[in-house]
Amino acid sequence: MTRPPNLLFIMADQLRADYLGCNGHPTIKTPHIDALARRGVNFTRAYCQAPVCGPSRMSFYTGRYAASHGASYNGVPLRVDERTLGDYLRPLGYRVGLVGKTHMKRDEDGMSRLGIDPDSSRGVLISQCGFEPFERDDGLHPDQLANPDLPYNRYLREQGYTGDNPWQSAANSAEGDNGELLSGWYMRHNHLPARVREEHSETAYTTRRAMDFIEETGDQPWCLHLSYIKPHWPYMAPAPYHEMYGLEDMLPAVRSNAERECPHPVVEAFMSHGESREFSRDEVRERVIPTYMGLITQLDDHLGRLIDFLETRGLRDDTVIVITSDHGDYLGDHWLGEKELFHEPSARIPMIVVDPRREADATRGSRNDQLVEAIDLVPTFVDYAGGDSQALNHVLEGRSLHGLVTRGPADTWRGYAFSEADYAWRPARKELGLAPDEARAFMVTDGRWKYIHYANHTPQLFDLATDPDELEDVAHCDVNRAVRGELEAALNEWFKARRLRTTISNDLVEQRTGTAHKRGILFGVW
């Protein structure tokens, strides 16, 4: 095969790894994703680098840990000179486009300091973390912040929806008995159908825009980041997905009384957040979770259409597909809502890689339980595109999955996966009396043990082998002293190994070692 494959990089926002049929959910219907898992490799132990949108995505797009790229939370600009996927793929001949969400915040100070016009073509790329914004939509548009010129708002108006912000009034609202708007931001409305027709919904629109990009691009190799806004809140699904699932389809909440009675101080502070208190109530879970599941099935249906489209266009055998998410959703597990901390429902992500070429036949339909990280995708894509990810190991911190997908599990692989939190922006930080730069936490897992280091607080430790639900924190058991020390040491080594000398490659260092004398710089010569 002389032509490198297209790269279809699909992300669903806030999609839990275990809410897929192929990952064991007993009732959810995700036949198209399951079919992709049968065609590819399902990585069952994949972790995001930060269980919150912005930093997780910046890790996906840079191939670097949050501690390295620095955009540690939503709204923290990515440094203007951080390299992203587009910087690597465009020189290899790819069109690198975005349809959907990135949660990128551009570094306006940096651009101004360096004289970069945000509206220039380069400025636009930098502003969109290296993607050509074929369609950018981060999907959170309350009326206070809404832009009537948002393409999706324009589209909805063209379909006859009224108002400045039909994203809110149609796609993310229901209608009451008297025709009044019932906002989807309020979870008490999440069992109602969105006012938007399904074919006009965000997921449907986003899928069509992906098809537009593929069609427009034609023969040039492309990488499309197709980044769905759902099943992230507001949890509003259009009919019929709002009523596809019922209480009998729900998994019970994973939680114990002991967790609430004797919590870790940081977890306790998160438990006191509004979203955690609400999701601890059954009434809330029962309104939200069936809809959350419906949104996933809706997404799956549209992925089915997209795959048919690829097939029709003759692209199926030319296109490597990745399906993942930026983080999960507690949905009341562990008495928590949302994400940010490191339990599996929050930090673990789905990761399915489909390589249609004959080279990958050996792994087709397999599951791989080696530790995978979100940062692995950039080197994977670089290798698929015909580049050499190893030559970028002074910047990229992930490991290419190319070999795992073509040859199967690797004999030597990483021993640990890491994830990070910076909760400076959350009320928990103030409740704990911490300064903005003290509210950090780090997860390290070797696959069996999960260790969480909290700045200014004692650590947590879970044994995933005996306690896969992470109900018992065993950090303080004497018998675990050795494993705790080992994981803390791994974390400390990890910190020392961050790639911060990014402006010169290791290959170049190797070439230059001991060469000063050759350049006439004699020192210590008699």
Q: Which of residues 283-312 bind a second copy (CB under 8 A)?
A: 284
- Distance (Å, whole) CA 415 – CA 201: 42
Site residues for a second copy, window 374-393 (CB under 8 A)? 393
Residue 55 or 100 with smaller CB distance to a second copy: 55
Chain residues 452-491 in contact with a second copy, contact rule CB under 8 A: 455
DSSP 411-443: SS--S-EEEEEE-TTSHHHHHTT--TTS-EEEE
Closer Cβ to a second copy, 47 or 233, answer by number:
233
In the bound state with a second copy, the residue whose beta carbon lies nearer, of 186 and 467, is: 186
Q: Site mask, a second copy, residues 179-218, x = CB under 8 A?
A: ------xxxx------------------------------
Q: Cα separation of 154 and 158, whole Å? A: 6
Q: How far, in Å, CA of 196 to CA of 163, rounded?
A: 13
| Choice from 68, 102, 153, 406 touching a second copy (CB under 8 A) | 68
The answer to whether the beta carbons of residues 232 and 139 sit under 8 Å apart is yes
Q: How far apart are the first and last CA of the chain?
A: 59
For the CB of residue 468, give the shortest distance to a second copy in the complex, in Å: 26
| DSSP string computed for 353-388 | EE--SGGGGGGTTEEE-S-EEGGGHHHHHHHHTT--
Which tokens belong to 261?
């009675």
Using rule CB under 8 A, residue 397 touches a second copy: no
| Residues that contact a second copy, how many (by CB under 8 A) | 87
Contact set for a second copy, span 119-148 (CB under 8 A): 120, 122, 126, 140, 142-145
> Cα(41)–Cα(62) distance, rounded to whole angstroms?
23
Among 10, 15, 71, 196, binds a second copy (CB under 8 A): 71
Q: Angle CA(303)–CA(305)–CA(310) in degrees, nearest 5?
A: 95
Residue 512 interacts with a second copy (CB under 8 A)? yes
Answer for which of 26, 218, 314, 524 binds a second copy (CB under 8 A) is 524
Closest CA to 374 of 447, 323, 330: 323
| 275 interacts with a second copy by CB under 8 A | yes
Stretch that binds a second copy, among 210-218, 253-261, 273-281, 354-362 (CB under 8 A): 273-281
Letter string b/e over residues 359-388, b meaning 16 or more CB atoms within 10 A of that residue's CB: ebeebeebebebbbbbbbbbbbbbbbbebe
Per-residue contact string for residues 314-353; x = within reach of a second copy by CB under 8 A: -----------------------xx---------------
* Pattern 6-45, a second copy, x by CB under 8 A: ----------------------------------------
**Edge-to-edge strand ranges of the sheet holding 41-43:** 132-136, 95-100, 222-228, 6-12, 319-325, 351-354, 41-43, 366-368
CB of 500 to a second copy, least distance (A): 4
Of the pair 219, 437, the CB lying nearest a second copy is at 437
